[in-house]
Amino acid sequence: MEPTRQAPPKMPPRPVRTLALDIGGTGIKALILSATGKPLTERARVKTPRPATPGAVLNTITEMVNAQGKFDRVSVGFPGVVRRGVTITAPNLDGNWRGYKLADVLSKKLGKPIRVANDADVQGYGAISSQGVELVITLGTGMGSALFVDGRLVPNLEMAHHPFQRGRTYEELLGDKARKKIGKKKWNKRLVRAIRTLEHLFNYDRLYVGGGNAKKIVVKLPSNTRIVENVAGLLGGIALWRD
Ligand code: BGC
């Protein structure tokens, strides 16, 4: 009698790993996320090259990625307006990002599917509760903003370049340059004024304040405000793959 052949036991498919990248004006951050969005690696951070041209930034990313281990797809938070994988603005990087097909170029370079969104939008996904109107601002080199209604994003909200006081914009008054110029105390006071203005404008249920300079906040903020750890800018990357 022929021995019955047993099929080899089926290995469960390896859970998908997402490489999350957060391109900032000062640093580029990376880590790998599990299928459920939990970090699987330590966050890596390198300085953003200057000038921050597409070529220089992509080379830096490629070097970083090699040290991160295996991944199946990539989420990118980009510090400017992004439409369908194409970067439209990049106020704190370089003029050559206008109309740059970031998703296509990086996908070819890394050989993996890529999704790109504005950095504050990604940070927001990593922070919100998906209930009601939620506004997110990020304080770093620039000022990011993102608006969500019951978890649905209004993409590319650009509060940064709107006038806030005496014709000067939120980013001019609250960005890293301003913080260094006027010092912690004044910057904190300005932030409180900005939050009051935003609250009247958006009438949100909650405000999240993230970005690298959120740790420089020393004042008490209104009770509907939460400070978010900057790693949310990477953790939110998993949301770009929810269809
Ligand atoms: C850009 C935003 C970005 C923010 C934080 C601003 O200058 O216009 O798109 O989210 O900086 O990086």
Q: Provide DSSP, 165-190.
A: ETTEEHHHHHSHHHHHHHHHHHHHHH
CA of 4 to the centre of ligand 1 (A): 64
Cis peptide before 51 (omega within 30 of 0): yes
CA of 138 to the centre of ligand 1 (A): 9
Identify which of 92, 122, 157 to mutate to test ligand 1's pocket (most ligand atoms within 8 A of the CB). Answer: 92
Using one digit for the tens of pLDDT, what is the confidence trace for 120-152?
Answer: 999 999 999 999 999 999 999 999 999 999 999
Report the alpha-carbon distance of residue 199 to residue 189 in Å, rounded.
16
Domains, in order of start, for the chain = 18-121+236-241 (3.30.420.40), 129-227 (3.30.420.40)
| Contacts with 58 (C-beta within 8 Å, 6 or more apart), sequence order | 105, 106, 109
- pLDDT above 70 as % of the chain: 98
Using one digit for the tens of pLDDT, what is the confidence trace for 172-214?
Answer: 999 999 999 999 999 999 999 999 999 999 999 999 999 999 9
CA of 82 to the centre of ligand 1 (A): 11
Residues 102-120 have a mean pLDDT of: 98
The rounded mean pLDDT for the chain is: 95
Residue 13: predicted pLDDT: 79
Virtual torsion, Cα 214, 219, 220, 221, nearest 10 deg? -50
Virtual torsion, Cα 156, 125, 148, 207, nearest 10 deg? -100
Q: Whose CA is nearest to atom 10 of ligand 1?
A: 144
Pocket flag, ligand 1, residue 171 (CB < 6 Å): yes
